[in-house]
Structure 1
Amino acid sequence: MVAFAVTDWDDAYENGRNIPGGSDYPAAWVEPAVSFRAAARAHLELPYGEGARHRYDLFLPEDAPKGLFVFVHGGYWMALDKSYWSHLAAGPLAQGWAVAMPSYDLCPEVSIADITAQVGAAITHAADEIDGPIVLSGHSAGGHLVTAMMCEDSPLSDETRSRLAHVLSISGVHDLRPMLRTERNAALQLNMVSAEANSPVLKRPLKHVPLTTWVGGGERQEFLRQSVLLSNIWHGLGCITQDVVAPDRHHFNVIDDLADPNSAMLQTVLGSAGEGGQ
């Protein structure tokens, strides 16, 4: 094994210009998301707080939901909103799950700790609407946010925590300390204290909740490292974990399998939730 030092931390976490066709995103998600919302059984723009972005969309299956599936979007805590991802609800819906997709405030207007609390409020609100087990998923920064929900200092209520059946972090960033070395930190406004305080990898997990970290084989090395890092450390703390590297997937198309009800990704998280959820 050849050891190397990261010399350009911005490049290490830069996806768009390091992926062929990366500049096509996020625009490529807009049309399928709009078309899906137009045809779906949905309650849109449900408020979970007082802010303009404190809203979530709730998509409903044809029959009574088996449980609640949540998808939390990425964008480095500083970009995008729930509207780009609606089509990803197709997979869980076809499996009989209700799907909630929240927006949240963005850095630098708020801190990552504030965003974590907002996502917790959104999940709690959706959980009050839908009975059964809860599966959380999130992409990139969203992967960070959903793993924060299964830490011992989770903002979720005890009742909502007890319903967590699986957490899926897709290309998540679980250790925020490298962000201090990036230009993005001008917006994130992290220091070492806040980076450590908001890093799931430095916290204790809720041991009853299985964790799956999922990452594309064509991703930047840092995303591959961040993925296995959390699974490895939390396994040593008694959590049931697995780390999956999906071949021929990159940071932007690794989420596509959420829309496929028969994908290995959904079978992994919904299968276990159906077996263990109450």
Structure 2
Amino acid sequence: MRTLIIIPAYNEELTIGSIVALAKKYGDVLVVDDGSSDRTSEIAQKAGAIVIRHKTNSGKGAALRTGFEYALSKDYDVVVTIDADGQHNPEEIPYLVEPLIKGEADFVIGSRYLNGSKKKIPLYRRLGLWVLNKSTKVASKMEVDSQSGFRALRRKALEKLNLSSSGYAVETDMVINAREQGLRIKEVPISVRYDVPNKHKKNPVSHGLGVLASVVGLIGYKRPLLLFGVLSLMSFVTAGVLAYLALQPYYHGGRVFLTQAIGAGIFTIIGIQLFVAGLTLNVLAKMVRE
């Protein structure tokens, strides 16, 4: 089976050469340089990779879409994606490809949670990943290592995926898409390391919140009734609390607190509108899918 290893990269001149060199043993290597300002492209080419360069930084999702389009145009049977920062070990590529070759899966995710590697994940990352994994489960009804960039897909899966995310939410987008298309998803254990040169390219808090916001947006797009239903419930709960605070003095011989009563009415109206919006968008989403 013809295999293409896709490496999305942004300012990874310190690690890209070794990742390419190790990955080449298992297939052709494509580096999608997402607008780097360093020597990422030059070093990747010297190491033996095919290089496609974006003029500007467009995000990991955009880089992966470029790679997937290339793989389809060149008739590759299997695609492996691996991060360029050195967190993943290219020597483990056969572990991800094996279930595809055996026909056991269409989409394989390298998981940090199956062999104890999660113990190496810093605590703040572990907490963030837990939130993102649970959010992905809400959208896809499947709990996996949703943010792992070490993955393998059959051509069949590539042809069916319709990705809209440009940033790091593409990892979740792929899982949701795969579930909607009825693709067989399997996880295999991988190792991971965090003592890499560029581990803090982005502020972890702002980065995590940005990814979470994108994931919530995907939930709203894929399962609008769920998202708007939760928001509606929160509005009704707030209305109930305000109504209790407004009426409590009345039952003790006092007056009704007008401000709280007005607030309860406003949040009740908001809750009704959110629920109706969720129902409407849910019907539209089903029509689009069909």
TM-score by length of 1: 0.26
Instruction: Please state which structure has a larger fraction of its residues in helix.
Output: 2
Greater relative contact order: 1 or 2 (C-alpha under 8 angstroms, separation 6 or more)?
1
Pick the structure with greater CA Rg. Answer: 2
